Every structure is written in C-alpha cells, then in structure tokens.
Amino acid sequence: MTRSWVAEQPRPCASRPGCYDWRVRSGARCEVLALALAALLLAPRAVRAIPLDALDTQRAWRLGKLRFEGNHQVGSGALRDALVTRPRRWFVLWQQRPPFDPYTFRTDLDHIRVLYRSRGFYHAVVTSSVQVPEKGDVVNVTVSIEEGTPIRVTDVDLDVEGITLAAHDETLLRHLLPLEPGDVFEEARYERGRSVLRDWFRQRGYARVTVEKSARVDVRDDTATVRYRVDSGPPSVFGPVTISGLDEVDAEVVRREIAFKTGEPFQQSLLDKTRKNIDGLHLFRSVRLVEDTSRDAVVAIDIALAEAERHEVKLGVGYETEEGIRGTAGWRDYSFLGDARQLGVSVRISQLYRTIAADFLQPHFPSQTSRVRLIFLQEQTQDTTYTLNETRAMPRLEWEITPRLTTYAFYRASLNLLPQGDIKTSVRKALPQAHPSRSVASGFGFGVDLNETDDLVNPTRGGIARFSVEPVGGALGGDIDLVRVIGEGRMYIPLPFSFGAAGRTRFGSENETDGSPQIPLFERFYAGGIGSVRGYARRRVGPLASQLLPLSVCNAHGKNFIDCDQPVGGKSLVEVSAELRRPVTDTIDVIGFLDAGQVSLRSWNFPIDDLQYGIGVGARYRSVIGPLRVDLGFPLDKRGDDSWWQVYLAVGDTF
C-alpha cells in the first residue's frame, strides 16, 4: 500500500496560548524524516570564492573539483593534460582527494598560458578562483580564460635552393604546407611544415636536404609571417649497408628484408619499408637505420639492432558479447630452425568456440615477396542451432605485389562432424539435406586485398577492397560441392570539426555445384550480431525456419511443439554499415552507427529492398592492446521475442 504524508491544520497548543502545534499523520513520519535528511544533504554548503593569491598557504588543502570556463578554442581535456594538479577521478571514490598546492598551481596556470600561446592566442588572460568552505579542507578551483584575438598568418614564404622546382611541384608543395594565409598561427602546424618539406624532398631523392624555418609575429596587429628556407642538397643514392648488434641472428636474415639496393635512387619510403620488414621478424626489440652525416650524394646506412627473446608466451582472459568469457594461451618461436621461420601453438576456450591451433610460417618462399603459411586446427563451435566439430588443414601462399596490394591462394581440407542430437528440430525439418553427420570439404581459393588507408591500425582516410573466390569439391574431391564469392569494401573520410565517417559494404553468394544437395549449415551465410548488423543478436538477421515450414508444424502445441524461431542461414548475403566518429579525448572516441543487412535463400540474389536495420551509439577506448569498444544497438525491424536492444563488448574496432 502506498503511503502519503499530509500535514494537518495547526492546532492551538494545550499548554500555552499563542502557540500552534503542527502534526503529521503517523503513517508518514518515515517519509518526512527522509525528506528532511535529503534536504540537509543536498543543501548548499557555505563557501566563499577568493583569488588564488588570497588562499592561506599555511594550511593543508585538498582538491575537490577543477573546472574551466571561457575556453572555446582549446578543449578542457587538452587543458587538463597541461596541468600537474589534477582532481581525483570520479570513479575512484574510495581514494582520498589529492593535495592542492597553490605554488604548483601557479605554475600550472603558466602552462595554460604557454599552451594558448602555442595555439596562436598570444593575448589570452588566465585567472583562477578558489572556493573555500567554512569547514573542512576541500577546495574547488575554477580557471577562467579570456582567449582574446588570435594571431593569424598573413604570408607564407618558401625559398628553395639547389634545384628549380617545376611550377606544378611548387603549387603542390605549397598546398601540402599545414599553414596558409588566414590560418591561426599554431606552433605545431608551423613545426609540421618543416617535416612536410623534409619528407617531400627525401622521398624524391634528396637525402641531404635541410630545412630552416622562421616566423615574425606582430602582436600589435595580431599577424604572423612565416618563412621556410630549403637547401635540397645533391640528388642521392643508397650506398653500402652495414649491420650492427647481431648475436644469434644471421645477417642474411636481416639483409633480405632490406627494401633497397646499393646505387638505387634514395627514397624515404624504402627506408620506412625496411624498418617495417625488420620489425615484422619479431627478433629485435629495437631497430634503427642510421645514415652517415656527410653531405655526399652516396648515403651509407647502418642498421643498428638489439636482439629480443625469440620465444614468446601469451596468456589472456577477455570478454566478448557473443563468445562470453574467453581464455587464450599461446606459444611462438620466431626463429624455428633458424632463417626467421615461425612456429606457433594457441588455445582458445569460450562459450562459443573451443580451439587448438598450430601454424608454421616460411618467409620469402618461393620468392622474395611471398611467404607460405601452414595452419592446422581442431575446433568445436557450439552455436544456437547446431554443434560443429571440425578438423582443418590449410596451406596458404601470400604474395605482396606492392606494399598495399596483396594476393593469396589457399587450399582447405576439413573433416566436419555434426552431432545430430544438437541440431534444432525445426532447422532439421526446414533443411533436411543440410546437416550431414560426417562430411569432408576440399576447396581451393584465391583472393586479393588492397589497402589504401593512411593508417593500418586506426585509419581515418582512404579505403580497403577485398575479394575472394573459393570453389569447393568437384575435381578436388570431398562431400561438399559449391562455389563461394565474397567481396568487401571499406571507406574512411575525415570531416570538419574533428568528425570522421566510415562505411563498410559486404556481399557474398554461393551456389551448389555438381548436383550437390543443400549447402551444409556450417557453410551457409548468416547475419546479425557484433561484427555484422548491430541491434540484433547473433544470426538474428535473415530467414528463419518458420519461413520454410508449414504453419501446421510451427503452430503445434504440447508434445508436438517445435520452436521455429531459429535461423537457417542462406546462400546470399548483403551487409552495409555507416559510422560517424568523433574523438572526445586523446584515447576515447564516441560513435553513432547505422547498420543494415539481409540473407537470401537463393544464390546470387541480394535483397537490397528487404534489409533489416539497426541503429545505435558506442564508445572506443584506444588501449595498448587495441581498441576496446562498447556499442548499444537497437533493431528497427524487431521480430518475435527478440530484444529491443543489444549491448556489445569487444576488443578491436568494428571496421
């Protein structure tokens, strides 16, 4: 029963005249006490705001809140990063509040002034006030900023000595400079201009290029003139290469990773590729490419190395929405039998997968730009509609045509066991020939990967294209006969105000060949879930058993009841995703997304007009182990008893 409290009208006191007695009904006394206590706790405490210089420095203070006001051009996160004084984080309530040192904070205010000056605001006025309580030692600090008028660039001069630039090269080079007339004079962009010029000339063969920069700032009219002076030096070629720091690793292992030849025209990108190649061996903890300091046209290179442990052991525990709690363990030898061969063994256990795998890598075989990988695994997949026990062997040949274009070919041989008792009854009835208890797959596939992004780990610009074809069975033998084609494209576009857009499209289709019956459950396409169409649970996008079975079967009751709300997969797939991304700190991004997808029961049929949509928001934390992400998705085409929302937790970005 819900109680309410009602105050009665005041009654005259029995003891003395002129006195009135307010009474509250007995059933509401607890509520009145609770409201009184809440009012006491929420009542503002008596504080007074004073300038920092007026704070008593003989007392010990602790910092409560620190806030900024008036900062429009510099974010609060950047201001906090410039300070030594920092408040306690909001989620560590058990920790004591940090000490507040007025002398240290005065230095912090100078750091803010220097930061604003580096951003082009030479007239910024930074003051502070301290809220001091009448009781206690916790102070709240407010930093007030009057940013003022910024310094703007009026002219950017570029003087080049040593060569005469063609008109189109000079135009291109000026366009690449971070600062141009009208921009706010930011020191970081001013310094980056020097790096841009140096990199441009070094990529075109001028290894000895020197770049000097100067700027004249006039605070009277808030203008700045910028000048870059370039001395190209002579056209250069790569000279002799020496290798230092080797102990157990053969020098030839390092030399074959060098991307340039002696006498070849100098290019900075070839040095970068060499460093990347040597890092990829995982045999060294540091790699430095040191150029000789002369001004000669021949550039001698010393590759200075420090060897690392060749064996690696990894143990990990994680969580992902679809897999649940996951444990992993792995061992790898990065110099198995020498010659930079690799051998690794790994184990993964989760609610969805139980896997033990071994892989062997032979670099530079059969050519300098190719490698062979052998993979063997045993895996159990416990999905919602079936359990698959698979033993697979797969040799794979990868060929790097260019640093951004890779082709590959592979052969897949697998033994697949489907325990019939684990297959949902409705799925077994809907696809009577798609669940062989034992089958062998033998397929040969090839594909191509093109990566034109600006960053392989966290791309913000460019695109990725992937395409693969895999014929299975036929002349290759086995019990499964099909042809599968998959294509995927990704695009990344930077937008104004630190926003970024990303998009992904994936198509796939497969068809039975040689009179084969239905495609097995584990070879079919499915959609929905964390890496597919968010807003839906795993495999909850696409056809269900109810679409293939008569109503009389699915509407049965009692002992004849069959759950027909089970995914059956299909032969064609289409998925489309779009994300709007924006960083809020140096390590945290927020996103909004729209996903769509569908699976068709027919081959080469892409149901663009029958997509299921999902929308949502998410956050990304860029950690040392990769992006940690959380997404909250909502289905726009909810079916049956599906949830109205889904939360996804995982390591790694969506795309």
Whether the full predicted model's pTM is greater than 0.85, yes or no, is no
Q: Which long-range contacts (CB under 8 A, 24 or more apart) does 351-355 make?
A: 351/323, 351/324, 351/325, 351/382, 352/322, 352/323, 352/324, 352/381, 352/382, 352/383, 353/323, 353/379, 353/380, 353/381, 353/382, 354/379, 354/380, 354/382, 355/379, 355/380
Rounded CA-CA distance 55/213 in Å is: 44
pLDDT band at 69 (very low <50, low <70, confident <90, very high): very high
Span(s) in the chain for CATH 3.10.20.310: 47-146, 152-231, 237-307
Is the pLDDT confidence value at 555 over 80? no
Which residues have CB under 8 Å from 443's CB, separation 6+?
A: 411, 412, 470, 471, 472, 473, 476, 478, 480
Least confident of 7-16, 356-365, 367-376, 646-655: 7-16
Q: What is the mean pLDDT of residues 53-72?
A: 92
Distance separating the N- and C-terminal Cα atoms of the chain: 53
Which candidate, 219, 113, 230, places its Cα nearest to that of 163? 230
**Which one is predicted more confidently, 388 or 12?**
388
DSSP string, 403-419: TTEEEEEEEEEEEEE--
Is the pLDDT confidence value at 506 over 80? yes
**Which one is predicted more confidently, 455 or 157?**
157
Dihedral sign for Cα 510, 515, 517, 523, please. negative
Q: What is the CATH number of domain 152-231?
A: 3.10.20.310
- Res 46: pLDDT: 59
Is the pLDDT confidence value at 14 over 90? no
Q: What is the mean pLDDT of residues 165-178?
A: 91
Rounded CA-CA distance 166/335 in Å is: 49
Least confident of 77-91, 225-239, 295-309: 77-91
Is the pLDDT confidence value at 542 over 60? yes
**Which one is predicted more confidently, 91 or 39?**
91
Is the pLDDT confidence value at 56 over 80? yes
Element (H, E) at 486: strand 482-494
- Res 641: pLDDT: 82
DSSP string, 499-511: -EEEEEEEEEEEE
Q: What is the pLDDT of residues 399-411, one digit of tens each?
A: 999 889 999 999 9
Q: What is the mean pLDDT of residues 338-366?
A: 96
In terms of Cβ atoms closer than 10 Å to its own Cβ (0-12, 13-18, 19+), residue 199 is middle
3-state SS, 182-249, equals: CCECCHHHHHHHHHHHHHHHHHCCCCCCEEEEEEEEECCCCEEEEEEEEECCCCCEEEEEEEECCCCC
Which candidate, 350, 448, 464, places its Cα nearest to that of 400? 448
- Res 149: pLDDT: 95
3-state SS assignment for residue 140: strand
Place of tokens 């945290």: 588
- Res 318: pLDDT: 85
Q: Alpha-carbon Rg of the chain, whole angstroms?
A: 34
Q: How open is the CA angle 8-10-11, to the nearest 5 degrees?
A: 110
Is the pLDDT confidence value at 451 over 80? yes
- Within 10 angstroms of residue 472's Cβ, the number of other Cβ atoms is 24
Q: What is the pLDDT of residues 269-316, one digit of tens each?
A: 999 999 999 999 999 999 999 999 999 999 999 999 999 999 999 998
DSSP string, 430-467: HSTTS--SEEEEEEEEEEEEEE--S-SSS--SEEEEEE
Element (H, E) at 494: strand 482-494
Least confident of 33-37, 65-69, 340-344: 33-37
- Res 517: pLDDT: 81
3-state SS, 287-333, equals: EEEEECCCCCCEEEEEEEEEECCCEEEEEEEEEECCCEEEEEEEEEE
pLDDT band at 24 (very low <50, low <70, confident <90, very high): very low
Tokens encoding 575: 């998925």
Q: What is the mean pLDDT of residues 27-46?
A: 51
- Res 108: pLDDT: 95
Rounded CA-CA distance 240/251 in Å is: 14
Q: How open is the CA angle 405-406-412, to the nearest 5 degrees?
A: 155
- Res 516: pLDDT: 79
- Res 458: pLDDT: 80
Superfamily classification of domain 47-146: membrane protein fhac (3.10.20.310)
Range 237-307 has CATH code 3.10.20.310: yes
- Res 627: pLDDT: 79
Rounded CA-CA distance 354/323 in Å is: 10
Least confident of 342-346, 457-461, 483-487: 457-461
Span(s) in the chain for CATH 2.40.160.50: 364-651
Q: What is the pLDDT of residues 461-504, one digit of tens each?
A: 999 999 999 999 999 999 999 999 999 999 999 998 889 999 99
CATH topology classification for 364-651: Porin (2.40.160)
Query: Using CA atoms in the order 616, 617, 623, 626, what is the torsion angle rounded to 10 degrees?
Result: 20
Is the pLDDT confidence value at 217 over 70? yes
Q: What is the mean pLDDT of residues 344-359?
A: 96
Which residues have CB under 8 Å from 353's CB, separation 6+?
A: 323, 379, 380, 381, 382
Least confident of 22-26, 415-419, 651-655: 22-26
The Cα-based distances of 542 to 102, 282, 382, 429, 430 in angstroms read 63, 43, 20, 18, 14
Least confident of 19-33, 135-149, 187-201, 511-525: 19-33
Round the average pLDDT of the chain to a whole number and report it: 90
- Res 31: pLDDT: 57
Least confident of 165-179, 431-445, 623-637: 623-637
Q: What is the pLDDT of residues 241-250, one digit of tens each?
A: 999 999 999 9
Is the pLDDT confidence value at 36 over 60? no
Q: What is the pLDDT of residues 103-127, one digit of tens each?
A: 999 999 999 999 999 999 999 999 9
Contact at 8 Å (CB) between 350 and 321? Answer: no
Q: How far is CA 385 from the centre of its chain?
A: 31
